[in-house]
Amino acid sequence: MKPYLSVVIPVYNESGNIQKLCDRLLTTLDKLGKPYEIIFTNDGSKDNSEAELEAVYKQHPDKIRVVQFKRNFGQHMAIIAGFEITAGDVIVTLDADLQNPPEEIPNLLAKIEEGYDLVSGVRQKRQDNWFRTYVSKFVNHIRALITNIRMTDHGCMLRAYSRNVIDLINATNEASIYIPALAYTYATNPTEILVKHEARHEGKSKYRLYDLARLYFDIMTGYSTLPLQVFTMFGFAVSFLSILFVIYLFIRRLIIGPEAEGLFTLFAILFFLIGVLLMGLGIVGEYIGRIYKEVRRRPRFVIKKVLK
């Protein structure tokens, strides 16, 4: 029977959470009274996650499918691998760490059935540490200024997608991808709802500070050219002011004569301009790096085996 609902869950070193998640998820989905499938993608876990996933598959082979990666390719690639084998009319994503309560899924489905094609969760009373919480809020604000993507909580993976949005995502073969932002660009009628957020039951967050920084750079450079445009306009402004400053120094030299007192001022201006130049090179490098990844055309992920 064709499933109405597909639930896609990326897994990376979540040993200890998998059985608990599976039990709560099955209890919630059985109450819906509609056919469903659950797809776990093991993103190259180094703990006992692979064995635990095979165990839950053997318990429910009619409801669970497992994709095993050869190595770690990242959360979003793991979700994409799940998307590619989904058959449901509605697809829901959530994390395996139980911070996204599976009991919230019926609320997402209710919104989809109202006619929305993308329902994004907004975490209430986040259980993350203060640093991640406030950095996330800051980046949300910057992203809203730079792009046309309007999401209150881009870090929440508890989301529901209609089939047409998933088909468009699957047709996108970009090497660097951020699913919530990409889905928002394809959705015609998106909405958001408040969802609960629980503390971690086992393990710790897999996102290091560097990973978060890379993720935010991907969002900024993947969905807007505004950073390049701002830097270009800033370059024009600095060039214009530099010309005025040179003219001022020339006139001053003619009237007053040469002075040595302004040497440190010139050095300060020089260091400032060098800093701006390096920042600009970094921005350009981000875009060139994305182009480099695309032109290599390497596989985005490699699957070791699929249990289905």
CB atoms within 10 A of CB 229: 10
| Confidence check: pLDDT of 189 > 80 | yes
Which residue, chain included where needed, has tokens 């058959």? 87
Buried b (16+ CB within 10 A) or exposed e, 130-153: eeeeebbeebbeebeebbebebeb
pLDDT band for 244, please (50, 70, 90 cuts).
Answer: confident
Higher pLDDT, 223 or 172: 172
Q: How far is it, in rounded angstroms, from Cα 67 to Cα 35?
A: 20
Per the prediction, the chain carries an average pLDDT of: 83
The pair phi, psi for residue 297, each rounded to 5°, is 55, 35
- SS3 category, 293: helix
DSSP E strand stretches across the chain: 5-11, 36-42, 64-69, 90-93, 118-123, 159-162, 190-195, 303-307
Q: What percent of the chain has pLDDT over 70?
A: 80
Give me the pLDDT at residue 59, please: 94
Question: How confident is the model at residue 263, as a pLDDT?
Answer: 65
Higher pLDDT, 242 or 183: 183
Q: Which of 87-91, 134-138, 172-176, 222-226 has the highest mean pLDDT?
A: 87-91
Counting beta carbons within 10 angstroms of the beta carbon of residue 114, is it exposed (0 to 12), middle (13 to 18) or buried (19 or more)? Answer: exposed
Q: What's the per-residue H, E or C state across 202-240?
A: CCCCCCCHHHHHHHHHHHHHHCCCHHHHHHHHHHHHHHH
- Candidates 49, 37, 38; CA nearest to 12 is 49
Query: Residue 10 in 3-state DSSP?
Result: strand
- Each domain of the chain, given as residue ranges in start order, spans 5-207+299-307, 226-296
Does pLDDT of 262 surpass 90? no
Q: Quote the radius of gyration of the chain (alpha carbons, Å).
A: 25
pLDDT, tens digit (0-9, with 9 covering 90-100), for 55-64: 999 999 999 9
CA-to-CA distance for 194 and 156, rounded, in angstroms? 11
Is the predicted pLDDT of residue 199 greater than 80, yes or no?
A: no
Q: How confident is the model at residue 272 (pLDDT cuts 50, 70, 90)?
A: confident
Which pLDDT score, from 0 to 100, does residue 261 have?
Answer: 59
| pLDDT value, residue 22 | 95
What pLDDT was estimated at residue 128? 59
Res. 198 pLDDT band, cuts 50 70 90? confident
- Superfamily grouping for domain 5-207+299-307: Spore Coat Polysaccharide Biosynthesis Protein SpsA; Chain A (3.90.550.10)
